[in-house]
Structure 1
Amino acid sequence: MEKIAFVCVGNAGRSQMAAALAEREVDNRGLDIEIVTGGLDPANSVHDDVIEALQEEGIDISNREPREITPADIENATHVVTMGCSVEQFQPDGWDGKSETWDLDSSDTRDQLSELNRRVTQFFDRLQQEN
């Protein structure tokens, strides 16, 4: 089974949104892919505006809490997407998965969500073309 990790610094915004959108893509496409998310320095809670923006998309993450990403989360991940950090900061020795960084231009939550929605869809389009 493939495993994809979405990682940012606080795991309270960007990576939470990307993971939630990715979970929806996995469900909609009927894929057997595990999604994990975490941060290098987790915040105390997911940002309220992130929860609200995702609820507007029909996604409820109100019960989620930020968590620290660990090398164990990554060791069998096939793909790692980082936002605001680098995979080298937490990857285990010998990891041979693929990584990419998504820089988001806007600091507005809804703009970020729109951009992440586009990127997640394109990401899964690419994955399906590769397989």
Structure 2
Amino acid sequence: MKIDVLFVCVHNSGRSKMAEYIFNFLAKEYNKPFYAYSAGTEPSEKVNKRVVNIMNKKGYDFLFVKPRKLTDELIIRADNVITMGCGIDSKSCPSIYGKKIIDWGLDDPYDMTENQIEELYSEIYKLVDQLLSKMK
């Protein structure tokens, strides 16, 4: 399977998961033939509970979503790689070679309140929408 966009962070339990689901939802809404995936270098056992709550409130089915491990195969299959905050947390950022990488500089929602995660969701939604509008 081809991956048009691979969203990457360390734990794949917040930012990259939200971006993946928002991207795939909007691509379908806009009738664009693109697909996103997400993964983390050190995936958590489960997705952040507050992220699950927010995403469920927004209409995404996040009940059984699980973090995934970043693999070389995923990187090879991806046309575009977007990291979620390497400018902020570079010491634990993934090293990805041979791909052009864009970093969105988003804070990790680990310690955020649900209100802060709502704001993060809005920011990710806007970034994904802008990305999709540029993709042909």
TM normalised by structure 1 equals 0.78
Q: For structure 1, list consecutive stretches of 5 or more residues without a partner in the other structure.
A: none
1:4 aligns with 2:5: yes
Aligned to 1:21: 22
Aligned to 1:37: 38
Q: Indicate the RMSD between aligned Cα atoms, in angstroms.
A: 2.5
Unaligned runs of 5+ in 2: none
In the alignment, which residue of structure 2 is the partner of 1:112? 117
Is the contact made by 1:21 and 1:117 (CA closer than 8 Å) also made in structure 2? no
Partner of 1:89: 94
Count the aligned residue pairs: 128
C-alpha distance 79-50 of structure 1, shift in aligned 2 (>3 A)? same
Question: What is the aligned counterpart of 1:99 among 94, 102, 110?
Answer: 102
Q: Which stretch of structure 1 is more off in the superposition, 1-10 or 120-129?
A: 120-129
Q: Distance in 2 between matches of 1:73 and 1:113?
A: 29
The 3 A distance-change label for structure 1 pair 59 and 130 is: closer
Instruction: Please tell me the residue identity of whatever aligns with 1:59.
Output: Y
**How many angstroms apart in 1 are the aligned matches of 2:3 and 2:43?**
25
